[in-house]
Amino acid sequence: MTRLFGTDGVRGVAGRDLTAAFALELSSAAARVLPGERREGGRPRAVVGRDPRASGEFLEAAVVAGLAGAGVDVVRLGVLPTPAVAYLTGEMDADFGVMLSASHNPAPDNGIKFFGRGGHKLPDAVEDEIESALKAPAEGAVGAAVGRVTDSADSAERYIRHVVGTMPYRLDGLRIVVDCAKGAAATVAPEALRRAGADVVAIHDDPDGLNINEGCGSTHIEELRAAVRRHGADAGIAHDGDADRCLAVAADGSVVDGDQILGILAVELHEAGRLAEDTLVVTVMSNLGLKLAMREAGVTVVETPVGDRYVLEAMREGGFSLGGEQSGHVVITNHATTGDGLLTGLHLLGAMSRRGLALDELAKVMTRLPQVLINVRGVDKFAAESSAALAEAVAAAETELGDTGRVLIRPSGTEPMVRVMVEAAAEAHAQEVAERLAGVVRADLAIE
């Protein structure tokens, strides 16, 4: 049976998959699971935020109705980044938080994400409880038990003060271009950078509900590269629609990806004695160059499956303070409970300010090895782990590549497809090995 919750909440096309009726029922079910023990003498409390998608307006109304109808007091936060909602869930002592966003997806999509007490993502078991509660009949609250609904007038201000307050170094003298992705970052990112001391040029800061992520942001970084060069900026910061990601652009227009950002921040924290257990948490998709660089710097690397939730789980279990993904999801647990694009950007720029170095110089903390990815479609992905021929081919490739390369064979989580990823010191070598392994996958895992 297909699980309702994906790796990042419940997502779908708003109005078709995510209807108002479904949002109401899902939030009502969550209200029966998430509060835990009732507050002494009162009702549980939830905070609700959204990105600027047009569909967020009707979905917010439905979620609020479902929560209040189930006896939960609701504070509407308005349009804010996902990490702001996570932060305010804890800062406002709410029992749980709800964010309406589909992150980097196009405007027709939307999603419903829940945060537990303290602003933490929910474990699978709790999401399964909500799904079970969704199927069970329930009575609504009546009389004095009905939840009350209020609006927060200072939610953006609280979040801006928080992220700027974590900065150990100011950004005076730096000109920064920030791409707000026509999303939630537009409400807070330019102001946060200005308060940190930067001279700020904001682009794509005009969300209209229908243009979120459209040709801009962290998934379309070409516009930011051009703007950095046009304005003679020291660096550029790119967010996605809900601002939980951060990618960067150096003054020369070169892109600084999540792996490089993680490497820069890891060295900063390590040298300051603030990198917990001297450990960085990454996924299996992080470039081998990052791992080699961290070994050289004396930083241990812990790998997890793909997905920021797995990074977070490993960080909580090990008590680690820094982790993330190549895509720009970076988690700094000293200041946040989830990936926070604004926080990441500020601390990356803070490293520039402290060291007095250009971003492209800082990015040399690691050398990215050529990485070739081939998606082999129309194969039996479930047979990948048991294929003797594929195992033999992978072993031979790993021996051939040695310490300066690696192979990753990963079945897709959503399609009949196997992903073949190869890294090597030379791109031509990586391409040749990847194509060879893809041929084995096609031949041995073909669907008859």
- Catalytically active residues are 103
Residue 240 labeled ligand binder? yes
CA atoms of 209 and 229, how far apart (whole Å): 29
- Which stretches of 119-233 are DSSP H helices? 124-135, 155-165, 189-195, 222-230
Rg over CA atoms, the chain: 23
- Which stretches of 92-201 are DSSP H helices? 124-135, 155-165, 189-195
CA atoms of 363 and 263, how far apart (whole Å): 8
| Contact call for residues 162 and 155 (beta carbons, < 8 A) | no
Residue 199 labeled ligand binder? no
Question: Quick one: tokens of 409?
Answer: 């064979």
| Contact call for residues 179 and 203 (beta carbons, < 8 A) | yes
CA atoms of 19 and 65, how far apart (whole Å): 13
DSSP reduced 3-state for 80: coil
Q: Residue 432 half-sphere exposure, CB side, CA atoms within 13 Å? A: 10
Which runs of E-coded beta strand occur in 54-171? 73-79, 96-100, 109-115, 149-151
| Contact call for residues 31 and 44 (beta carbons, < 8 A) | yes
Closest to 216 measured CA to CA, from 229, 202, 230? 202
Q: Which residues define the annotated binding site? A: 103, 240, 242, 244
Q: Which residues define the annotated binding site for Mg(2+)? A: 103, 240, 242, 244
